[in-house]
Structure 1
């Protein structure tokens, strides 16, 4: 419930001028171009308190934790799988975790694993409950960071921009997707929220430290977001000594312990941030081995995740110039940062990453909150322009918000409805793998499986949708890869030796070359997961039609994107999308070669 700011402090019927002046500076007087009456209480501005904002954000993030799919196999095999190994001694290892290359940091994993380990030790839950517990913790951390960012926006850009940005943060599909992902780019997004929030509040020490935390612990390229902060400190404020002192403190507090911890896991001196920068920037091929995308890739992806809000964010610099030129206003408070500097992180990030051949959705996660902020500034600018040119016969000194509130309401409603539509489309279309693998936990109770025998669950072309070993009931279950049309390098299980993290595994390379040692004999598979798209090849047959070898025990609809309408597969419209979208069965099959007993009641097929 929003708190209404009507704090008219009265002392014998008179306002306290000192308190009133303080409200003007902190609420709107810093940056709003208002002819008079700058106190929000005088015009009845309704805006959420910090507590209310936190409750709204936390609700949205917990929804993301429970309903969001894993859209990137990098999240599964580079983060969930090594974490599963640290917890249970079993999991998949990618070449990035080979001591020969050591691109990833175990320190980053441990800050996620330790809470999960405590939860496991205290309650002994199912493993997939640990998965969702970890996601909820990520959502909690994200909500805390977003509230801090929201308060900082209100201070730097004004309450109107702050409440708009908050609404966009709560409902945007982009924040839904990124907020609970177990990825370094998501952690960098958290730190971006804090570092920019601290910068907007002129807490430079915290801004430097959290930028360093993001760069060292999660993703070194996130240092790009800190460039405008460095420009402000070094060239505008001339606080050179403070900048270098806190940079050195950050190195001592973050990087040195991280190097020591990672080196103990890998068995030799490792500086993971340096290794990942060297591989991506200074090798001849860089990350392009894993695919390249056209220039417009991010335009499409960001429009899907933020719809009209992304368009508004692109137009923000132009809108600010038009408002400054056409709308008469008092000079902006000199205590505020100039717009070109405070909003630079978004456009600097976009300039660098839009021009890279290798593009992935997660690369834009760190600046997702800035898209919400810039979109809010554009909506606010439209309100000012509308008031200036379309509202007539108003009293002198009338605040622009009193006549332009419908524009704000329409903007929030349209963007929110489109975002919710996108979220529903993603859940309905792509959530089947998580639901299907969760079904494995029922098999041990509903079917009489051997208590000591290893259970092989195989996967072919759907390997990249495997949600992680947290969805396998216990260590008896082993995921096995079948040969498919994919010709890149698949991960392989960690060694069973105690020092597995420091052993250089055989048959690994850093060039994404196929390693045939990964493939398993289908004759030894007990269960198989496959998507039936009705298209077959030599290495990707239709297993569901091989009824003499496989029995379907669970089937969940999964979007067949190639046979569905582009718009209706991207945005869900009740009663309409189902007419334009085609769904294929995502199947869990049991081999007929193994005659395991089962109860009289069969497993449901839907």
Structure 2
């Protein structure tokens, strides 16, 4: 609304951030847009989905095989799925089986279904990572968010965890969503956070529920200190109800498969903690306390060190550099970095350790590391001196830190490539089955010493079964689900108790077949490994077996430490310690008439053999010497080799193997698939964006701007008609910690750097909890309003008869909203609302003692206006409470059309740039889509309600022409307006709230960066805007003062290039 001189609907919303001036370099691009970050995460995860080796045989036998059974009617079964033990949930497997089944409608081969499921996991993970990245940028800092993105996208640990079909990966996804909810502190999403963590714990891995404990304790403590403990408890109760609903769904699904009542999360906890002697995870092997330190150093290199140092650095920053924090150190920030420490301590103390146990804590590790590197950079990047040598020292330190960060990224990439090229053969050797006439119906493929590298039945032709032959291993191997040709048979198969299963890892001879029954055989050869009677080198038995496919596989026992840790190119002339040594991993086919009897010459000395696998310290699937009873022998040196070689994987090679290069892994095909997936995602995102036109300036990630037509549909109703909407505003969350005596006004600074000033509406979405803002100036505003209502009456507050219902609806809305949001200031009564500070009671039921707009004005610090549509399609100002506008009068604008309000006030650019968009916006605004905008002015007198410098409030006309020119700076005041617009659902009226913040310019300029930015903004005004805002009357004095204050701040060490790290529009 604009008046004789100034506003309500004034345009002054710059649409983009122009360069500041020649003193300020372009802002650093710390914030990566969400669509770009999604593509980064998705590409990283998709590469893992198509190339990463399966690290854990538990992933295959406990998850891929049951999924294959659901999709194809046969598969391998472990003891965990026996109804006797029931420690694996069918709900988790079913979700993935549905994805595979849907993929089978478009994909021919089973292996493509495998990769489709993996890509689905990669996509889900990328979405969760993007959500968390956005929350970190919004709540903590865009720079912290950028470091988080780099750590997540380039760390080997998250590369493998992102697309792994494991409950620990699923809980990692849910932990990211849960942490996202808790990071959104203002919105109080406690119930949502509990739901996400609960979903991960119930459907995935129950122990991961411990990650929520520090976050919940922080919320309870904050609620206790702020007097809002009841709200926190209510959120906890709400979240618990959601978790119980999830548990009920899981129990129902498991009952359908098991034909018995089973609480799988409890069964998992009971077995692992209360299993008793001879049971539990320790029977599958133990590791020293240093295992996770070494493992995380390998998977996260220096990021792990930063993660461990986050808490100490935060404490040191609070003690020695308190000015580096926006406040002291928020309790919730410590709560957000605590889960990683807690998780690391808990699992370090456990004897049985596996790499995947750390997966749920990976996002917390990345967050801790990002916070730590941000603190380090904020210190080393600061100038230790005002002279040039201080700048050079800071640049040198920054160079060192940048080199460390780049080295960490490169080390992560080299390790990732090294793992792919070294251990990816089990996913490639079965490609030969895609050729015609290779196999026949009823063929089987057997596994001896390579049983733990079987990538699942998805890689075998339809109908081909995996079988096991005797090897040196003496533990329990998987059995087979009963074949199922339809769904009743499938459910019967999952509920049938299998034979030969136990929870003691005791061998069952019934799991083996004679080698004569094998049509195909998977075997490996390592020149450094001695064959045994049970584990001969079948590859060399050419009279019995024909080599169908062989892939290179790293011989870790012969490769030096560097070659085991990272990728080293296979170049001639490399020193022997750097060279990677290779073996062979092969698929063999029985020759016709061949005998399975081994020649004596091929029987090498039997004895202890090395079982090598892809996953370090995985029970049953680990690299360690074993004896004939399947028990591990203590060998510290072997443990170290196992860790350093990613489970001491021994590779396969003939006498003169060809060293593998990356192209041997069909990277062109994989790259094409990744590019196709990325392009598809980009196109879908682009189509979606066509419905949302953003006007937000570059560099303001927190500013979610809307164009006048974005998000709002064209109504089909006739002009002037409104059908009441059934939309109900969500209940407002109590403002935790708010106190009418201590709550500081928000420092809105809605101006941008020049040289160009943009005239736009500058709208952005509004959260419902942000509708009305109150602070410790409430009593002063309330007193001013009461005085002006008494003195000026209908000149400031009045309602047209046709707008009476809308004004009543607004009063009812405020009387409901305010007690919800500010329970310490307002209390709802049966007939209205009571102000607990002034002891006033406002009646909201007829008959009212005063105009409803006057009652509305008394309740809040905002001015209010109601715009209603008439049959001519125009919106008219028909009700208002304009008590503190400063520059315009309700009596001048009352009853005017929207366009007339602005043209009569000479709003710059209204006809050319605003009128059409504003009319469309008002027409299309929906009750569920409230918006915000900000505005600002300079005033040269100290009166908040009315600026006497432009004339008497009762004058016929008011103008800047009456203002005194170049008054002393002490008379300059900064008026900042926060305006909200929403449509009332019952009446259809558009409510306009205008909250004015009024501060002396001499106080505002004490804030870092404000003088320089405000001076640049004022200089950017065009002649029409400058005339509208009265710059001629104060510009000379004000700009000189602002320039001087800006120079003082720079001289005191202000680093102008870091402004974007400490501010976000409109603050």
Instruction: Please indicate, yes or no, whether the TM-score normalized by the shorter chain is above 0.5.
Output: yes
Q: 2:162 aligns with which of 164, 179, 197?
A: 179
Q: 8 Å contact 1:65–1:136 — kept in the other structure?
A: yes
1:394 CA displacement:
6.8
Indicate the RMSD between aligned Cα atoms, in angstroms: 2.8
Residue equivalent to 2:194:
208
Residue equivalent to 1:546:
541
Q: 1:191 aligns with which of 170, 174, 184?
A: 174
1:564 aligns with 2:556: no
- Find the residue that maps to 1:439 and give its secondary structure: helix
1:372 CA displacement:
1.6
Alignment of 1:343-382 (within 5 A): 343-382=337-376
Determine the C-alpha separation between the residues in 2 that align with 1:392 and 1:548. 82
Q: 8 Å contact 1:213–1:250 — kept in the other structure?
A: no
Post-superposition CA distance 1:332-375 (Å, at most 9, x none): 33794443312111011001011111111100001112222211
Q: 8 Å contact 2:168–2:204 — kept in the other structure?
A: yes
- Find the residue that maps to 1:123 and give its secondary structure: coil
1:158 CA displacement:
1.1
Residue equivalent to 2:111:
128
Q: 1:100 aligns with which of 73, 84, 88?
A: 84
Q: 8 Å contact 1:425–1:571 — kept in the other structure?
A: yes
Determine the C-alpha separation between the residues in 1 that align with 2:234 and 2:431. 52
1:546 CA displacement:
1.8
Determine the C-alpha separation between the residues in 2 that align with 1:330 and 1:126. 57
Residue equivalent to 1:33:
none
1:410 CA displacement:
2.6
- Find the residue that maps to 2:36 and give its secondary structure: helix
Residue equivalent to 1:537:
532
Determine the C-alpha separation between the residues in 2 that align with 1:106 and 1:587. 34
Closer/same/farther in 2, CA of residues 393 and 526 from structure 1, 3 Å limit: same
- Find the residue that maps to 1:329 and give its secondary structure: helix
Determine the C-alpha separation between the residues in 1 that align with 2:25 and 2:217. 36
Residue equivalent to 1:88:
72
Determine the C-alpha separation between the residues in 1 that align with 2:498 and 2:483. 11
Post-superposition CA distance 1:168-203 (Å, at most 9, x none): 111111111100000000000001111001100122
- Find the residue that maps to 1:586 and give its secondary structure: strand
1:151 CA displacement:
1.1
Post-superposition CA distance 1:242-268 (Å, at most 9, x none): 244223322332001110110110011
1:593 CA displacement:
3.5
Closer/same/farther in 2, CA of residues 306 and 331 from structure 1, 3 Å limit: closer
1:318 CA displacement:
2.1
1:205 CA displacement:
2.0
Alignment of 1:317-356 (within 5 A): 317-329=311-323, 332-333=326-327, 336-356=330-350
Closer/same/farther in 2, CA of residues 343 and 335 from structure 1, 3 Å limit: closer
Determine the C-alpha separation between the residues in 2 that align with 1:194 and 1:403. 38
Q: 1:275 aligns with which of 253, 267, 270?
A: 267
Alignment of 1:206-355 (within 5 A): 206-237=192-223, 238=229, 239-284=231-276, 285-329=279-323, 332-333=326-327, 336-355=330-349
Q: 1:507 aligns with which of 500, 505, 520?
A: 500
Closer/same/farther in 2, CA of residues 111 and 401 from structure 1, 3 Å limit: farther
Post-superposition CA distance 1:60-101 (Å, at most 9, x none): 111111111101001000000000000000000100000000
1:105 CA displacement:
0.4
TM-score, normalisation: structure 1:
0.87
Residue equivalent to 1:481:
468
Instruction: Give ranges in structure 1 of 5+ residues lacking alignment.
Output: 1-10, 21-39, 596-604
- Find the residue that maps to 2:310 and give its secondary structure: helix
Q: 8 Å contact 2:144–2:371 — kept in the other structure?
A: yes
Determine the C-alpha separation between the residues in 2 that align with 1:175 and 1:347. 18
Post-superposition CA distance 1:248-307 (Å, at most 9, x none): 322332001110110110011011101001000111232111111111111111111111
Alignment of 1:151-190 (within 5 A): 151-190=134-173
Post-superposition CA distance 1:394-424 (Å, at most 9, x none): 799x9x9999754564343211100110011
Determine the C-alpha separation between the residues in 2 that align with 1:439 and 1:299. 41
1:467 CA displacement:
0.3
Determine the C-alpha separation between the residues in 2 that align with 1:79 and 1:401. 52
Q: 8 Å contact 1:387–1:403 — kept in the other structure?
A: no
Q: 8 Å contact 1:234–1:240 — kept in the other structure?
A: yes
1:425 aligns with 2:418: yes
- Find the residue that maps to 1:585 and give its secondary structure: strand
Residue equivalent to 1:5:
none
- Find the residue that maps to 1:46 and give its secondary structure: coil
Determine the C-alpha separation between the residues in 1 that align with 2:299 and 2:575. 18
Determine the C-alpha separation between the residues in 1 that align with 2:566 and 2:405. 17
1:106 CA displacement:
0.5
Closer/same/farther in 2, CA of residues 430 and 330 from structure 1, 3 Å limit: closer
1:235 CA displacement:
2.8
1:217 CA displacement:
0.7
Q: 8 Å contact 1:167–1:412 — kept in the other structure?
A: no
Determine the C-alpha separation between the residues in 2 that align with 1:144 and 1:347. 25
Q: 8 Å contact 2:171–2:208 — kept in the other structure?
A: yes
Determine the C-alpha separation between the residues in 2 that align with 1:546 and 1:403. 63
Residue equivalent to 2:61:
77
1:322 CA displacement:
2.6
Post-superposition CA distance 1:469-496 (Å, at most 9, x none): 0000101x11110111111100011012
Residue equivalent to 1:590:
589
Closer/same/farther in 2, CA of residues 290 and 577 from structure 1, 3 Å limit: farther
* Equivalent residue pairs, number: 558
Determine the C-alpha separation between the residues in 1 that align with 2:47 and 2:324. 43
Higher-Rg member (1/2): 2
Determine the C-alpha separation between the residues in 2 that align with 1:569 and 1:44. 38
